[in-house]
């Protein structure tokens, strides 16, 4: 059955599968990169909230 299929058709199928695999890999890597970026930005936000909380606490203590 496979012996009757021209070699170039098999080559096209192989490259199509390879292209799909590479697209999947690129998509997965981009997702992981985005998740790391989101985590970093979230940490910056939480740090700013903590700093503001400490600043307000310091003002409250020194103000009374």
Q: Which residues contact 10 (CB under 8 A, 6 or more apart)?
A: 2
Total length of the chain: 64
pTM higher than 0.85: no
User: What pLDDT score does 39 carry?
Assistant: 98
pLDDT along the chain (64 residues), means of 10: 88 98 98 98 98 94 76
User: What pLDDT score does 61 carry?
Assistant: 87
User: What pLDDT score does 64 carry?
Assistant: 59
């Amino acid at each position: 059955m496979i012996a009757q299929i021209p070699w170039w058709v098999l080559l096209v199928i192989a490259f199509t599968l390879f292209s799909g695999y590479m697209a999947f890999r690129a998509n997965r890597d981009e997702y992981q990169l985005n998740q790391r970026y989101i985590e970093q930005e979230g940490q910056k936000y939480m740090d700013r909230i903590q700093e503001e909380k400490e600043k307000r606490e310091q003002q409250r203590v020194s103000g009374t």
